[in-house]
Amino acid sequence: MLAFFIQGMVLGIPAAATPGPLQAYYISQTLRVGWQKTLPSVFAPLISDGPIILLVLLILTRIPDWLLQSLRVVGGIFILYLAMVAIVGFRRSEINSVKITESSHRGILRATVTNLLNPNPYIFWSLVAGPILLTAWRESVIHGASFMLGFYGTFVSGLTLLILLFALAGRIGPRMVRVFSILAIAALICFGIYQIGSGLLGA
């Protein structure tokens, strides 16, 4: 049981630390609306990954590659939409010099949709975590739960740390906040374009 828990922890660290659309979204949101309103959205993967895991294990491993590529295109378009929202928020904050308000529920919803349309979790659960989870589950339900606890405990903690780090960076000054905001928006745009391109090119 401990072995599967440790495997989950080991996989959770790079899952949280590796740059991706979800991480870029959290950074953008933290700098735009503050860490208090962004922090609840770290639980979005707990909402979205359930269907993702089922789809990967039961369907996506048996369907043609073009469906996954189509998902990349749709996900890229949604990421570009998030970048547009961040740009509008950045301009408003520049004009009004105040933080933009946004409900925590809307932040959780957007983070959930971002993760659902992000092909990385599908690939991750299909090629890496899925086989381990099946092995653990076949041994016992406790072993399977131990793996999931290790992974999501580390993953959510890592995302929380990411948000808090960028919240502290925001205290450096308004100029640094603007720099980080621009970088976060640029990251969203780059991820969106990359996913659309990889989906269209079949990369």
61 — pLDDT class (breaks 50, 70, 90): low
- Domain assignment present for residue 168? The answer is yes
- Domain assignment present for residue 12? The answer is no
Q: Which pLDDT tens digit goes with each residue over 84-138?
A: 877 776 666 544 443 434 445 566 777 777 777 777 787 778 777 877 787 788 7
Q: What is the dihedral of CA 43, 45, 50, 54, to 10 degrees?
A: -170
Per-residue confidence (pLDDT) for residue 174, from 0 to 100: 59
- Domain assignment present for residue 8? The answer is no
Per-residue confidence (pLDDT) for residue 101, from 0 to 100: 44
Q: Which helix (H) or strand (E) holds 61?
A: none
Average pLDDT, the chain: 76
Closest CA to 25 of 113, 93, 151: 113
Q: How many domains does the chain have?
A: 1
- Domain assignment present for residue 4? The answer is no
CA 131 to chain centre: 21
Taken in order 94, 195, 13, 155, the sign of the CA dihedral is positive
Range of the domain at 45: 18-198
- Domain assignment present for residue 138? The answer is yes
With H, G, I as helix, E, B as strand and everything else as coil, classify residue 125.
Answer: helix
Contact 72, 195 (CB under 8 A): yes
Contact 166, 24 (CB under 8 A): no
d(CA 119, CA 30): 23
d(CA 176, CA 199): 34
Cβ partners under 8 Å of residue 37, min gap 6? 29, 101, 102, 103, 104, 107
Per-residue confidence (pLDDT) for residue 150, from 0 to 100: 93
- Domain assignment present for residue 7? The answer is no
d(CA 176, CA 198): 32
- Domain assignment present for residue 9? The answer is no
Q: What residue type is 63 in one-letter code?
A: I
Q: Which pLDDT tens digit goes with each residue over 145-185?
A: 999 999 999 999 988 988 888 777 656 555 666 666 677 67
Q: Which residue has the tokens 């609306």?
A: 33
Q: Which pLDDT tens digit goes with each residue over 11-39?
A: 888 778 766 778 878 888 887 778 888 88
- Domain assignment present for residue 22? The answer is yes
